[in-house]
A and B are shown apart, each in its own frame.
Chain A
Amino acid sequence: MCRIGAIKSKEFIHPSAALHLMLPQQEGHDNSGFAMVMQDLGGVFSGHKDKPLLSLACTQKGAKIVEDYMESNNFVQLAEWIPRGVKNAKLDIQAMPYYIFRNYDYPEHYSDASQETKESLLLDTRLALRELLEKNQQGYVYSFWPDVLTLKEIGDPRDIATYFKLWDDNGALMAKNVVVQCRQNTNYDIVRYAAHPFFIQGYTLCANGENTFYTKNTEYQKSLHRGYIGFESDSQNFLYTLHYVLHQLKWPIKYYKHVITPLPFNEIETRADKAELTAIRQSLGHLEINGPNTIIAMLPSGDMMTCCDSKKLRPVVVGKDDTMVAIASEVCGLNAILPNRNQELDIYPNEREVVVINEALEVERWKQ
C-alpha cells in the first residue's frame, strides 16, 4: 500500500519535513522510492514565481535535447537549481545522470497571451519534451508549470534524500505546499512515471489504493484530453478525472466526489439535486472509481483536498496546528511533524466526506 502525505504551511518548509511525515509510516518493504511535488516555492525560485519551472531527470544527451527544444521554441532560461548528487555506492538510489529544475520565461510572442493559451503552451511543451525524451530513452519530464517543482526517484527515501541533500536545510529548496509519496509502484513495472504524485496543468494528485476501474477509466480518458497519457499507474486516472471535472468542465470541486464515487441510485433519489446527480452519474459512469483508495490532491490555487473510496477501505487523517496542516495515510506521520497539535481535532474523513484546506489553512469538510 502506498503511504501518501501532504503538508500545507503558512511558512516556507523544507523537504525534510515531508520526509519526517512519511518515514514513520513505512511498513515492511513499503519504501521503494521518493516523489514529491512542491508548490508556492521559496528559495532559489522565489524571484520567478509567475514563470514556468521545468522539472526533469535525464541523461546528458537528454539535457541537450531539452535545451535545443526550449531554445528553438523561444523559451528564455531564468533561474536554475541543479542538484549535485552525493555519489556514494552504498546509497540505495537508481539515480539519473542529470536533474534539472529550471525557470523559463515565456516566448516573447506570448507576452499578451491569455492564461488559457499559456496553460496550453506549457502542457504541449511538456508533452513534446516527454515524447522526445521517451523516443530517445534519454529521460523523464515531470512538470512544467509556474511555481511547481517535482522530484521523483527510485530507491530508499532516506538515501534519495541523502543523495539530493534534502536533509540539509540550506534554504535553496523551500515551499509552502508539498505533496509526497514514498513508494515506487511495486505492483507493476518500475517506471519513474508510475510514481505519484502526478501532475497536469496545476493539478497534483497522489493516491493510495487500487483502481479496479482502471481499464474503463483509461479507455474513456484517452479520448477526453490530449494530456491524458501514460497511464503507467492506475492512480493517474484520479488526477485526470480531477482535471477534467475542475479544469475542463469547470464544475465546482464538490462534484469531483460525485463523479468518482457516485451515491447509490436509491440515495440519489432522495436528494433535492437528484436531477443533476443522476445526469452526472450517467454521463460520467466511465470515470467512476471502484476499489479501495484515498486521494490527496493539490489544486492550482494551492488548496488541498482529500477524500476516500465509497467503502472507506483505505485510511487517511488530517491534523493541524496554527501554522501547518498535514494529511497522511497514518497518524504516526502527523505525530512526527505535528507532535504538539490537539489530536482531538484530527479529522478521519469518512467514505462520503471531502476535506479541503484553503490558503488560510481553514479546513472545510462536507458530505457528498
Chain B
Amino acid sequence: METVETQDVTVNDLPWKIQYDTERCTRCGNCVATCTFQAIEAVVERRSVTISTGNQPEPINKHSAVLVIKQKNSIAHACTGCGMCEKTCPNQAIKPVRNQDSRFNLLARKGGAPIKKGGRTNLNSGRTLDKIIVGRISQMTDPALDSERHTFDILAPFGRVLPASEIPLTVTNGEINLAGKLPPVNWIYPVIFSDMSIGALSTRAWEAISLATAYLNEQYNMPVRMCSGEGGMPVKLLESEQLKYMILQIASGHFGWNRIVKAIPKMKVDPAGVLIKIGQGAKPGDGGLLPAAKVASHVQAIRGVPKADLMSPPNHQGLYSIEESVQKMFLSMNAAFKFRVPVAIKCAASATSVSVYNNLLRDPYRICGGFFLDGIQGGTGAANEVSLDNTGHPIVSKTRECYLSAVKQGRQGQIPLWSGGGVGLTGNAAADAFKMICLGANGVFIGKLLIQLMGCIGNEQGRCNSCYTGKCPAGICTQDPRLVQRLDIDKAAQNIVEYMLALDSELKKLMAPIGNSSVPVGRSDALVTTDKAIADKLAIQYVC
C-alpha cells in the first residue's frame, strides 16, 4: 500500500462528494460516460466478506474483486455537483452531495493561477426585489383592469428620446408635422435576451435563443430582441430578414466585427440596435474571457482569431474619457448604419453609474440610445473567482438612483434605462421586471435565466458553474461537438418561448391590479416594502 501523506488531496477536500450505492449499481457505465468532468471512474476494488450458506454456521472468508464507481481525489477532476450521473443512472445508485468540509479554495490555486468560475454570483444575502411587493392595488376609487380582457401596450424604447420641446416640427392648419430627423428609436418588448456570445455559448444554444426570438416575434407578435454578445454572428443571419430582431454587440475585443462590417452592404434590414459593452456586472473591470478550450474552429472563424485564450481588455483601448467615447464610439457606430440604428451602452453597475448616466444625458449630440446597467447578480461565461465574489454593485438601488437623477433634471425617459444582472434570479422574471420598471427602468435584460431554461443546471450555490471549462454537461456553454449534441435545439427554444408567454401573462397580472394598460415606468407609488432601509433608499412606501 502506498504511503498516504497529509497533504494529499482526498475526496473530502472537494466541494462535492459522490454518494454511491454498490448494491443498487448495475455497472451500466452511464454515469462515467456522462460525466464531462471525469470526476468518477470505474475501478475494481478488493472486497472481503464472511459468508455462511449451510444449515449450520460454517463461516468462510471470501475475497472478491468488485467493479465499482469511484470518485477521483483530484482538484482537476473535482465533481461540480452537476448531477448528470444521477440523471442518467437507471437505478438511483449515484448522486453528488455537497461537502461542508470542502478545502477546495485552499487547494485550487495550484500553479499560482487564480480560481476561475463560470455563471454565478455569490451575493446571496437576500434579494432586495424579494422584499418589495406591489402594494398599491386599485380598489373602489379606481377600477382594476382585467388582465384577460383589456388590451395592454407592453413596449419599451430603445433609442434616444428627445424632449418634446426639441422635436423638430411645424404647425400648419391644426396639424403638426415633423420637420426634421429624430434619433432612431425602436419600441421593443421590455425584456431583452441579453448578450451571450457564440463562443461562450455553443452554436446550438445560441441558435436556440435566436430561434425563440424569431418565433416570439413571428408567431406571437412579441417584439423581443436578442443581443448577439461579443462574438460575431453567422453571416447567414447577418444577411437575413431576421437581423431586425438582433442587437449587435461591440465590446473591447471587437470580436466578430470584421465579418459584421463586411456584411453591412449585404444586409437586407437594419439590426434592432447596437450595444457597446463597457463592462459586465458579474465581473466589472475584469474584461471578457473565453478560455482556449472553448475556441473551437468555428469560433476562430467567426472571430478571426487563433486558438488561444481570448481576453477582451477591461476597457476600450484608445478611449480615455467619456467625451471621447461619445465622440468616437457612438458617432462611428451610428454612422456605420447611417444613423438609422440606435446605439446604446452597457456598463457594470458601479458607485459611479449616476455620473456616467448624467454625463450621457447631458451630451449635446443626443446620441446615446440606452443605458444598460448590469448588476452584480448577473452571470458570466468565465471569470476569475476573485472578481465574481468580490466586485460589483447591486442593480436595484443603482437603477433607482439613475432614474431619480434624471427626474431631478427633467430628463427621465430620454436615455432609456435597461437593467439586468439578477433579474429572474429566482426564476420569476416577470415580477422582477415589473418592480424594476416601477422603480424607473424602461425594461430589463435576462441572460442566465435563458440558459437555465435551456437545461443548464447551474445554480447560485456553486452547483456546476463550469461554463469556463468547455465541459458543460448540458451542451450549452461548450464547443465540444459531442457535448453540443446533448442540447435539443427545438426543445430549448420551446422552453424559452413558453416561459416568455407566461412572463407576458404575468406582467399583465401585475399591471392590471394597479390599473395600468401601458408600462408603468417610474410608478414607485405602486411598490411597498416591509424593510425600512429599502424604503428609505428607494423612496418607496414603508409598510408593516
Is B185 a contact of A282 with CB atoms below 8 Å? yes
Q: Closest CB of chain B to A278's CB: distance in Å? A: 8
Is B185 a contact of A285 with CB atoms below 8 Å? no
CB contact list, B410-440 vs A, under 8 A: 410, 412-413
Is B157 a contact of A282 with CB atoms below 8 Å? yes
Is A273 a contact of B141 with CB atoms below 8 Å? no
* A89 interface hit (Cβ, 8 Å): no
Is A252 a contact of B161 with CB atoms below 8 Å? no
Is B517 a contact of A283 with CB atoms below 8 Å? no
* A216 interface hit (Cβ, 8 Å): yes
Query: A215-B524, A264-B153, A283-B161 are contacts. A276–B177 as well, Cβ < 8 Å?
Result: yes
Instruction: Compute how far the CA of A74 lies from the CA of B104 in the bound complex, rounded to whole angstroms.
Output: 84
CB contact list, A265-305 vs B, under 8 A: 265, 273, 275-276, 278-280, 282-286, 288, 290-292
Q: Please give, as numbers and ranges, the residues of chain A lying within 8 Å of B412 by CB-CB distance.
A: 216, 219-220, 286
Q: Which residue of B lies closest to A268 (CB)?
A: B187
Q: Please give, as numbers and ranges, the residues of chain B lying within 8 Å of A254 by CB-CB distance.
A: 174
* B28 interface hit (Cβ, 8 Å): no
Is B518 a contact of A290 with CB atoms below 8 Å? yes
Which of A17-25, A145-153, A205-213, A315-323 is the interface stretch?
A: A205-213
CB contact list, B33-69 vs A, under 8 A: none
Count how many pairs of residues, one from A and one from B, have CB atoms less than 8 Å apart in the complex. Answer: 109
Q: Please give, as numbers and ranges, the residues of chain A lying within 8 Å of B302 by CB-CB distance.
A: none
Which of A40-48, A105-113, A243-251 is the interface stretch?
A: A243-251
Q: Closest CB of chain A to B57's CB: distance in Å? A: 85
Name the contact of B407 in the complex, choosing from A214, A219, A290, A291 (C-beta under 8 A): A219
Q: Closest CB of chain A to B510's CB: distance in Å? A: 13
Is A280 a contact of B164 with CB atoms below 8 Å? yes
Is A273 a contact of B524 with CB atoms below 8 Å? no
Is B522 a contact of A286 with CB atoms below 8 Å? yes
Q: Please give, as numbers and ranges, the residues of chain A lying within 8 Å of B26 by CB-CB distance.
A: none
Is B142 a contact of A291 with CB atoms below 8 Å? yes
Q: Closest CB of chain A to B471's CB: distance in Å? A: 45
Q: Closest CB of chain A to B144's CB: distance in Å? A: 10
B303-322 interface code vs A (CB 8 A; 1 in, 0 out): 00000000000000000000
Q: What's the interface size class on A, roughly?
A: 35 or more
Name the contact of B142 in the complex, choosing from A210, A275, A285 (C-beta under 8 A): A210
Most B-side CB within 10 Å, residue of A220, A252, A275, A290: A290
Q: What's the interface size class on B, roughly?
A: 35 or more
* A115 interface hit (Cβ, 8 Å): no
Is A264 a contact of B141 with CB atoms below 8 Å? no
Instruction: Compute how far the CA of A212 lies from the CA of B136 in the bound complex, rounded to whole angstroms.
Output: 10
Is A249 a contact of B143 with CB atoms below 8 Å? no
Q: Please give, as numbers and ranges, the residues of chain B lying within 8 Å of A276 by CB-CB distance.
A: 169, 176-178
* A103 interface hit (Cβ, 8 Å): no
Query: A216-B523, A252-B171, A276-B169 are contacts. A313–B143 as well, Cβ < 8 Å?
Result: yes
Is A212 a contact of B410 with CB atoms below 8 Å? no
Instruction: Compute how far the CA of A310 lies from the CA of B522 in the bound complex, rounded to whole angstroms.
Output: 20
Query: A223-B409, A286-B413 are contacts. A249–B518 as well, Cβ < 8 Å?
Result: no
* B481 interface hit (Cβ, 8 Å): no
Q: Please give, as numbers and ranges, the residues of chain B lying within 8 Å of A280 by CB-CB distance.
A: 164, 167
* A224 interface hit (Cβ, 8 Å): yes
Name the contact of A187 in the complex, choosing from B141, B167, B514 (C-beta under 8 A): B141
List the 9 shortest-distance A-B pairs measured between CB atoms, nearest first.
A223-B410, A210-B142, A216-B522, A215-B525, A252-B174, A283-B164, A212-B515, A290-B516, A219-B407
Additional A-B contact list (11), CB under 8 Å, known A210-B138, A262-B518, A311-B145: A187-B141, A216-B521, A219-B407, A223-B407, A224-B410, A276-B177, A282-B187, A286-B413, A311-B517, A313-B142, A313-B143
Q: Which residues of A line the B interface, CB within 8 A?
A: 187, 209-210, 212-216, 219-220, 222-224, 248-252, 254-255, 262, 264-265, 273, 275-276, 278-280, 282-286, 288, 290-292, 310-311, 313
Q: List 29 A-B contacts (CB under 8 A).
A: A210-B515, A212-B515, A214-B525, A215-B523, A215-B525, A216-B412, A216-B520, A252-B171, A254-B174, A255-B176, A262-B518, A265-B153, A275-B178, A276-B178, A278-B185, A279-B167, A282-B185, A283-B163, A285-B413, A286-B412, A286-B413, A286-B521, A286-B522, A288-B518, A290-B515, A290-B517, A292-B142, A292-B515, A313-B143
